[in-house]
Structure 1
Amino acid sequence: MTPDDLADSELPMLSAAQATHLRALAAPHYREGHQYSLESLAHTCSRAPEEHWPDLVAAHFDRLRQASQGDESAEELLRGVHARLLPVDSVPSELLGSLRYARVVADGLVFAYALDGPTSVRLLTDRDVERAGLQALGEAARANLMRVPVRHEEVGVEGGARLRSVYGDSPFVAGQALFLAEVAWKVVGERLPDAGALVVVPTRHNLVYHPIADGSVVDAVNSLAAYALGAHEDGPGALSPRVYWWHRGSLTSLTVIDHETLTFSLQPPPHLLGLMKGLVHLDRAGRLATRAAAEPAGLEELMRGAAESMDRLVQDPATLADAFRSLVSLAHARCAYDPDVAHIDTWDAWATATRLGSALFTGAPAQECHLGEDLVWQLPAFPAEPPADARGWLDALYLAIVCRQTDRIGRLCRVPSETLRQDDSVDEYVLHWIDTLRAYFSDGPSMDDVVEKLVATIETSGRDGVTHAPTEFVNAIDYQPAALFHRLIARDHDTFAKALAEAVAEHGGYWDGSAAPRARVALGPLAMASLAYDYGFPVDPAQPCLPAHLLNRQRLEEFS
């Protein structure tokens, strides 16, 4: 293979010899003082025999000569202007001085205004911007961009992630990534999470994004990276091979390109990396894994999985954490069919989950566990080897509170805080909340100490202090038990009742009809309501997601 046979560095869709030929054909058509990108023309020529190239080149430049020359009125500019994304290296050097308003919005991407004419598109210059007015031009460019016709579809990828693809014939489609929240609502019909979305704009005709809502973001980032690189190379209208993080209106590149070795790597910024780590941890604990899944696991599947996990546990004590997660999911899921926990099989699931949670963090002697009359396991003794799993500890404590296991509550609160603080997948407010509960159920600290720790929990759960959990999850799920506890220790019956109703409403709003097991029971609020009930608060047991016979102790049975 000769050097002429290799792909051209600037027009990779052509060989070096073909690119040289195309440049020679185009040269006579250049006007003095102007430089034109040959990318789209090269794509057109790459699909045609070379004997047709002179006609294709002549037709291309004839269309350009008919294009706008910059003498439009302000009204004409406002009618046709669109916000546009361009590759950084695509703006001719001699135009840079007349595009001072344009700006780099992310690695590899330039934002500019373009006028959509009958036969071509031209970039607006500073003179155009001055003629129409910067603010008016910006508003018109956004409005016109959002009227560009697009289509969309969802694509499933390995690992369960769902990608949203938005595409169309217009060269402005990719520019809609700048206003992704509006696109997601208008085109796809969904609101983006506070954490934003991962997005790629491989060509000017499409964008693909993934909302950052659960642990599938890890699979999505790899799938988006592979797609962006392939689509960018295929063209036409190549824009960027990078993966970006859209967050509160800004784009941040996750892709790092080594130009010497021409290799790509993904390096999320620290805030996003912490968020991804926290989401994966939440998924593994069964909190978010099935929130957006089309077909979450049914009760039979969960029952089968729980039985299999118990079988493994009899043989291998190291599987205790997996068995605990499986039983917690089963206990929640059974409440879809038995919302008050009136049946013994549902109680068995809650009791077994409580036993396993306690054993995981504090150890346990050999014991017998049931899941109905026919399923019985003789479990071995477990040593006290608490894992660094802060959310698992909270689940275990909430279960012990709901099942009124005073001894287990005490032992869980003696788990060293240093162990739980080794969990780097949770935000600081989670650890402060654990400290609050440990202090409350321990003999040593005073109520002033408890209040101080609760205040730290509340202060660190604000948006600025959260980097690992989605804001929606913090507000609707994690924060509610702390808010209830505040009213509980204040012995404020009326305000507690209002806060409990709000917590249940927030729980329902967050899960929004999902069939996920966690949607069935508001575990943290249930634990706080159980404490309040035992303290004589007038707690109404007939509330959604608060199993009545657990709350009022009518289903509770003795633990062996």
Structure 2
Amino acid sequence: MVIQISRSPFEPGENSAEWLAEIDARTLERVGHLERSPDMFGRTFNSTVITAYTHCLHDPTANTSETWEAWVAAMQTGSALFASASAPEGSTVECMIAHKPRTIPGLGGPTHFTDAGTWLQAFWLAIICRDQTRMTQLAHYPVELMRRSGEFEEYIYPWVEALQAYWLQRPELGEKLVAAFDGTDPQNLRFVDRELMLKILYPPLNVFYRFITNDQEKFTEALTQAIQLHHEYWAEDEERREDLDGAVALAPLALACLAHDAGQPIEVESEYLPENLLKRSWLGEFPT
């Protein structure tokens, strides 16, 4: 049985196509500045992600090529950010972003925007866009460098290490995932509140655990719960409903993509899981 979970109502305006074109143009302009100002990576990456989410508000199933282009550009920018951080100062990295090869200066090490939260976003995007090369590059980025970029709840570092171990087939996967679960205990929280942890940050760990243990029934339950809690959190009040961060359930979508590609049926339908991203309908449409 397919479970349907609806997103909060959204009515596109009459000029939505023009509005999206303006957003795309502004985001592309910011991307162009990276070749001169890589210190703008954090703000630019956030802009590309919000642009991708905005397209999905207007195109809930990701049915248009423009939506796919926006998601690919976000993925490319996130991966380029960490490639630049990995490159020595004074060197350059060659990156494809938004259909154009770009030569971007190396950042020469971690900065305030190369933190574990940003890494997770970049990794989820690489999964959703099915870019295994970028997934591998991100999986090799050291957690020690993420720790130098800012303070987070401690759970996030073993969570990142668990994902890296999964993708690189390292033996410490189970150990790191247990440590990540332990770190989500609300009694251990320092920077986020209990609601954010229980409704947004914790559920992806449970979805991932059910995926790697190949328990289809429990996976469906965990994915359903993750989407329901995502909706509950972002529909709580008007301020959250207007926050574009809630338009797509990024981590659950990425994990559903992993399960889909592994042959598991995805029994949840929702605007929070855009159908054509989940089913990789646009894959191969253009070089990424």
TM-score, normalised relative to structure 1: 0.43
Q: CA deviation at 1:425?
A: 2.5
Following superposition of structure 1 onto structure 2, how do residues 89-104 of structure 1 map, counting pairs within 5 Å?
none
Give 1:490's aligned residue: 213
1:346 pairs with one of 49, 58, 67:
67
The 8 Å contact of residues 59 and 67 in structure 2, kept in 1 or not, is answered as yes
Q: CA deviation at 1:301?
A: 6.8
- The alignment partner of 2:34 has SS state of helix
2:176 pairs with one of 424, 433, 453:
453
1:358 equivalent to 2:79? Answer: yes
Give 1:206's aligned residue: none
The 8 Å contact of residues 116 and 143 in structure 2, kept in 1 or not, is answered as no
- The alignment partner of 1:468 has SS state of coil
Give 2:97's aligned residue: 369
Higher-helix-fraction structure: 2
Give 2:41's aligned residue: 320
1:382 to 1:480, Cα distance in 2 relative to 1, 3 A: farther
Give 2:52's aligned residue: 331
User: Deviations for 1:199-226, whole angstroms, at most 9, x for unmatched residues?
Assistant: xxxxxxxxxxxxxxxxxxxxxxxxxxxx
1:301 to 1:427, Cα distance in 2 relative to 1, 3 A: farther
Q: Which amino acid aligns with 2:135?
A: I
CA distance in 1, matches of 2:134, 2:229: 29
1:403 pairs with one of 129, 132, 137:
129
Higher relative contact order (Cα pairs below 8 Å, separated by 6+ residues): 2
User: Deviations for 1:61-115, whole angstroms, at most 9, x for unmatched residues?
Assistant: xxxxxxxxxxxxxxxxxxxxxxxxxxxxxxxxxxxxxxxxxxxxxxxxxxxxxxx
Give 2:198's aligned residue: 475
1:501 equivalent to 2:224? Answer: yes
Give 1:379's aligned residue: 102
CA distance in 2, matches of 1:481, 1:306: 29
Give 2:166's aligned residue: 440
1:554 pairs with one of 270, 281, 287:
281
1:516 to 1:299, Cα distance in 2 relative to 1, 3 A: farther
Q: Which amino acid aligns with 2:244?
A: P
The 8 Å contact of residues 480 and 524 in structure 1, kept in 2 or not, is answered as no
Q: CA deviation at 1:543?
A: 2.0
Give 2:120's aligned residue: 394
2:260 pairs with one of 508, 527, 533:
533
Look at both structures and tell me which one has the larger radius of gyration over its CA atoms: 1
CA distance in 1, matches of 2:149, 2:192: 14
Aligned residues: 255
1:426 equivalent to 2:149? Answer: no
Q: CA deviation at 1:365?
A: 4.4
Q: Which amino acid aligns with 2:163?
A: L
Structural RMSD (CA):
2.1
CA distance in 1, matches of 2:41, 2:147: 21
1:470 to 1:301, Cα distance in 2 relative to 1, 3 A: farther
Q: CA deviation at 1:308?
A: 3.4
User: Deviations for 1:295-329, whole angstroms, at most 9, x for unmatched residues?
Assistant: xxx85774454233123224323322221111011
Q: Which amino acid aligns with 1:424?
A: G
The 8 Å contact of residues 399 and 527 in structure 1, kept in 2 or not, is answered as yes
- The alignment partner of 1:335 has SS state of helix
CA distance in 1, matches of 2:271, 2:63: 15
Q: CA deviation at 1:352?
A: 0.7
- The alignment partner of 1:380 has SS state of strand
Q: Which amino acid aligns with 1:329?
A: I
- The alignment partner of 2:97 has SS state of strand
Identity across matched positions, percent:
32
The 8 Å contact of residues 253 and 273 in structure 2, kept in 1 or not, is answered as yes
TM-score, normalised relative to structure 2: 0.82
Give 2:249's aligned residue: 522
The 8 Å contact of residues 504 and 544 in structure 1, kept in 2 or not, is answered as no
CA distance in 2, matches of 1:381, 1:308: 15
1:525 to 1:382, Cα distance in 2 relative to 1, 3 A: farther
The 8 Å contact of residues 110 and 148 in structure 2, kept in 1 or not, is answered as no
User: Deviations for 1:224-272, whole angstroms, at most 9, x for unmatched residues?
Assistant: xxxxxxxxxxxxxxxxxxxxxxxxxxxxxxxxxxxxxxxxxxxxxxxxx
CA distance in 2, matches of 1:535, 1:466: 34
1:454 to 1:415, Cα distance in 2 relative to 1, 3 A: same
The 8 Å contact of residues 357 and 396 in structure 1, kept in 2 or not, is answered as yes
CA distance in 2, matches of 1:300, 1:469: 35
The 8 Å contact of residues 36 and 104 in structure 2, kept in 1 or not, is answered as no
Give 1:68's aligned residue: none
The 8 Å contact of residues 35 and 104 in structure 2, kept in 1 or not, is answered as no
